[in-house]
């Protein structure tokens, strides 16, 4: 029997969104910085980043928090 461990990853992506050419970043650091700025701009947002397998750059994605 497999023990199921409850892990709570900060960002859980069900599926990668389509490649977004509007905002892509060459480095993870750049993407993180941009994500930070967006979150500062709008405190209700949680922005995650992911490496895009299509363009091999980094994109931002909005993360929905399950808060009840």
Binding site for Zn ion (CB under 5 A): 19, 52, 54-55
SS3 47: strand
Name the residue nearer to Zn ion (CB basis): 39 or 55.
Answer: 55
Name the residue nearer to Zn ion (CB basis): 23 or 46.
Answer: 23
Q: Are 41 and 59 in contact (CB under 8 A)?
A: no
Name the residue nearer to Zn ion (CB basis): 13 or 55.
Answer: 55
Kindly list the strands in the beta sheet with 46-51, ordered across the sheet, starting from the edge strand earlier in the chain.
24-25, 58-63, 46-51
Residue 51 main-chain phi, psi, to 5 deg: -80, 125
C-beta of 9: minimal distance to Zn ion in Å? Answer: 21
Closest residue to Zn ion, Cβ-based? Answer: 52
């Amino acid at each position: 029997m497999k023990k199921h461990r409850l892990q709570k990853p900060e960002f859980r992506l069900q599926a990668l969104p389509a490649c977004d050419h509007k905002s892509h970043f060459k480095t993870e650091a750049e993407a993180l910085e941009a994500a930070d700025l967006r979150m500062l701009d709008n405190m209700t947002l949680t922005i995650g980043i992911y490496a895009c397998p299509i363009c091999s750059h980094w994109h931002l994605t909005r993360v929905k928090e399950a808060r009840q």
